[in-house]
Amino acid sequence: MSETETQTASAEAQTPPPPLSPAGTTVKEGIINSLRGINEIEAEIVSLVRNTVSNALRATGSVAGEAVSVTNEVVRGAIAATEEIGTGLTLSTKSVAKGIIMGVSDVGGDLAAAAGSTVKAVVKHTADVGGDVSVVARRAVDGVVEATGEVGGNVIEVARSAGTAAIQAAGTLGNTAVGAVREVLIGIVGGVKDIAGTAMPKPQMAPQAPHAAPQASM
């Protein structure tokens, strides 16, 4: 390619795209404003759940003993809210899970245990209302992992605990649910295949006849 052709190609590459039409601009601004609104809503949910969990655990004075109960009730409340307004379960799940982990962290609780109980509660109560267990489980795991990173916890340990809990909880719903949850978690949780292998019952192997002892050479 000649120098002139190179300069022409470079100029074309740097040419900005034409401005958006009024219709394109309207859609662009509408989406930006909507996404900003979603981010604000998610932040509010995280803050609400975080404060509720930390205050409840401080009031009981027993973080280890009450964390599972508080987590279960918080998840139930969140799902009841989405049922009442008819939407938002998938959107709110990540924020609720994130808020729970942050609230437990605020009182020095066990993040891995909290992650497991959170994901189990999410799967159970989502199944109770007929929601998409696999998608909601993924959102919950996203939330606990993100929160753990933000508070400086052991992300790998928490991710494995959450992944194990998701598959175990799905196991109570049948093999189809286990498969669906495992598939969506593979992209999030490192080593989720190993987790699935330990969480799911292993097939029974038929006993093998013992091998004859080798003959000693003469």
What domain count does the chain have?
1
Structural domain including 42 reads 29-199
Residue 113 domain flag: yes
94 assigned to some structural domain: yes
Q: Is this model's pTM higher than 0.85 or not?
A: no
Between 5 and 176, the more confident residue is 176
pLDDT recorded at residue 92: 86
210 in a domain, yes or no? no
175 inside domain: yes
Per the domain annotation, does 164 fall within a domain?
A: yes
Domain-embedded: residue 178 = yes
Q: Give 62-104 pLDDT, tens digit per residue.
A: 677 788 889 999 999 998 888 887 777 777 899 999 999 999 9
Quickly list DSSP for the chain.
--HHHHHHHHHHHHPPPPPPPHHHHHHHHHHHHHHHHHHHHHHHHHHHHHHHHHHHHHHHT-HHHHHHHHHHHHHHHHHHHHHHHT--HHHHHHHHHHHHHHHHHHTT--HHHHHHHHHHHHHHHHHHTT--HHHHHHHHHHHHHHHHHHHT--HHHHHHHHHHHHHHHHHTT-HHHHHHHHHHHTTTSTTHHHHHHHHSPPPPPPPPPPPPPPPPP-
pLDDT of residue 50: 93
- What per-residue confidence (pLDDT) applies to 97? 95
Please report whether residue 7 resides in a domain.
Answer: no
- 111 against 135, higher pLDDT: 111
Q: What is the mean pLDDT of residues 169-192?
A: 68
Q: What is the mean pLDDT of the chain?
A: 78
Query: Is residue 214 included in any domain, yes or no?
Result: no
